[in-house]
Chain A
């Protein structure tokens, strides 16, 4: 069993195998993710009941919660890739970070925007310096740093190395910022879906929310694969395996 895992791990790192597989997978994943997002948004925006306290304003939860959660999950996955790159020098990890960074940045921005739109009616201000909002902003800055980092190095290898180091610095720094900012009492109400305790929103609202979360994760998976394919083709276009592969499909 361990041997199977090991050579799957090595296959994961090889560009030709990934290029072949992603060619087939992308259309399927793309179709399902768009479908899911459309269904969940319609269901969430028009059919789910209005909230007792916040009226219809809470419906933005169907964009805010998935965006914020996906932006953090992307960053933590990138830091795993960064670790893999620094230890095993796997080029695929560098491709992964470079492709996922813009997507993460986009969703962090969506999270901030939707949070502000949601915050305005509930807290009465567009922006409030509160622990979670500040650390999301810091996360956004780190994404920008990673995107900016790609172009400052001549050689691809040193760019990936620098980017991996920054990603790990970010992973260490995020909790520190959250803790140091936490010293002000936080206005942000506790997470509505707490994995451990029972979630504090009713089930009719929950199902479209879970659907939209699934939809957005699939969408990230779809765009991630797309970006990685583009990145691989730009890095490997003068290799014969790439010419052979791209000529026949």
Chain B
């Protein structure tokens, strides 16, 4: 177990040293949030009911950009080989990597999405379901990101995004619908439960698939 904590610290250090890993989600969020009113329209009620979808799309795109650097940097400097040689349980290590990537690519955006109440005229009471659905939905999207990253290791082929989008479509639909339901009085707990079910169901499967995909590169 201790080696897992050691790896968690190592990943945190690496991410925090790379200045881009702090700034890119924040800047990315601000850019997209300011683009939407300009691009679509700054009429409050249009933005109001678009807000949930827009925030979800921002989180999805942020993961889409950052899924490359879960594994590709380790592939280039050979750490993946060392991990394979070390006989440690690779799936736990990959889980730690995904968790750290979630911290640095999704969490900032979830926290910042509170600002959408002012920027996108998002109604106050919709905030709680928004945060809950994001907190449960984004880990699943990061899982898909890890799988895409493991498969297209090193070479940025079309496979990553082409695989991630279809897989995260249901999560996107459930997430945005949960918020819309809560806004017009419908109980949205069933959506949240479904989102959790998807996350819980997919966690082991996508984890072992990613480890398998990594090993495929070193058969």
Contacts and interface: CB of A to CB of B under 8 A. Distances in A.
B219 A157 contact: yes
A45 interface: no
A177 B177 CA distance: 15
A112 to B, nearest CB: 15
Interface stretch (A3-11, A61-69, A146-154, A227-235): A146-154
Given A138-B169, A165-B209, A177-B169, A148 B216 contact: no
A158 B212 CA distance: 10
B159 A148 contact: yes
Contacts of A151: 155, 157
A85 interface: no
Interface residues of A, number: 28
Interface string A153-175: 11101100110011001100100
Interface residues of B, number: 24
Nearest to B163: A145
A177 B168 CA distance: 9
B162 A152 contact: no
A177 B157 contact: no
B219 A152 contact: no
B177 A181 contact: no
Interface string B137-173: 0000000000000011111011100110111011001
Nearest to B172: A180
A141 B158 CA distance: 9
Nearest to B205: A169
Interface string A17-30: 00000000000000
A42 interface: no
A170 B170 CA distance: 13
A161 B159 contact: no
A161 B212 CA distance: 10
Contact of B217 (A134, A142, A145, A158): A158
A176 interface: yes
11 contacts: A142-B163, A145-B158, A148-B157, A148-B158, A154-B217, A158-B216, A162-B151, A177-B166, A177-B169, A181-B173, A183-B173
Given A151-B157, A153-B216, A183-B177, 10 more contacts: A141-B165, A145-B158, A145-B163, A152-B151, A152-B153, A176-B170, A177-B170, A180-B174, A181-B169, A183-B173
